[in-house]
Structure 1
Amino acid sequence: MALQINGKHVDLDDATRLLDYLGRLGVDPRSVAVEHNGEIVERDRYGEITLRAGDVVEIVRMVGGGVCRHGGGRPPPWNPLRKDLLEAPGRWHAGCRPE
């Protein structure tokens, strides 16, 4: 049975519950968001969804934010005169932007 998961072709022996598939992958269902055939699946419905031939599934793992390169885990105080800080490539990490 062929389907697409995260953009890759996957073959399963037969129809499989989404929750069981996540278990096979060793994925904690509380740490992912799932889109099944274009619709976001509520976490409490993972056990109700059955993966079938032709399905398209996206599984996205939740990841916490990082720290800023300047250290201390917080961005420097916002200074509108220091626009160079915003324009420096790679200066900011996810979640680290001027206050």
Structure 2
Amino acid sequence: MNIQLNGKPQATSASTLEQLLVEAGFGSKTIATAVNGSFVPQPLRAQHELADGDQIEVLAPMQGG
């Protein structure tokens, strides 16, 4: 299926958000996720089914000042 990950087109065989995150190298990192503009909390990622054309945003916390 084809999705958008952080604004870039990507083909994936992942069927859930959690599988996509592992595939994309975000596996155990502390991140926030949204699918089609809706926040998906960490406990729900394994059950969140992806669909062709989904737009996924992955954000990592930033430190500094």
TM-score by length of 1: 0.57
Number of the residue aligned with 1:8: 8
Between the two proteins, what is the percent identity of the paired residues? 28
Q: For structure 2, which runs of at least 5 residues remain unmatched after alignment?
A: none
Question: Which range moves more in the overlay, 46-55 or 25-34?
Answer: 25-34
Give the number of equivalent residue pairs: 65
2:25 is equivalent to residue 40 of structure 1:
no
Query: What does residue range 1-99 of structure 1 map to in structure 2 within 5 Å?
Result: 1-13=1-13, 16-29=15-28, 31-63=30-62, 65-66=63-64, 94=65
Aligned 8 A contact 1:16 1:50 in 2: yes
CA separation of 1:21/1:12 partners in 2, compared to 1, >3 Å: closer, same or farther?
Answer: same
Structure number with bigger Rg: 1
Offset from partner CA, 1:51-97 (integer Å, 9 cap, x none): 2101111011123x22xxxxxxxxxxxxxxxxxxxxxxxxxxx3xxx
Q: Structure 1 runs of 4+ off > 2 angstroms? A: none
- In 2: Cα distance, 1:60 partner to 1:43 partner: 12
- In 2: Cα distance, 1:62 partner to 1:28 partner: 15
Q: For structure 1, which runs of at least 5 residues remain unmatched after alignment?
A: 67-93, 95-99
- In 2: Cα distance, 1:29 partner to 1:7 partner: 22
CA RMSD of aligned residues (A): 1.7
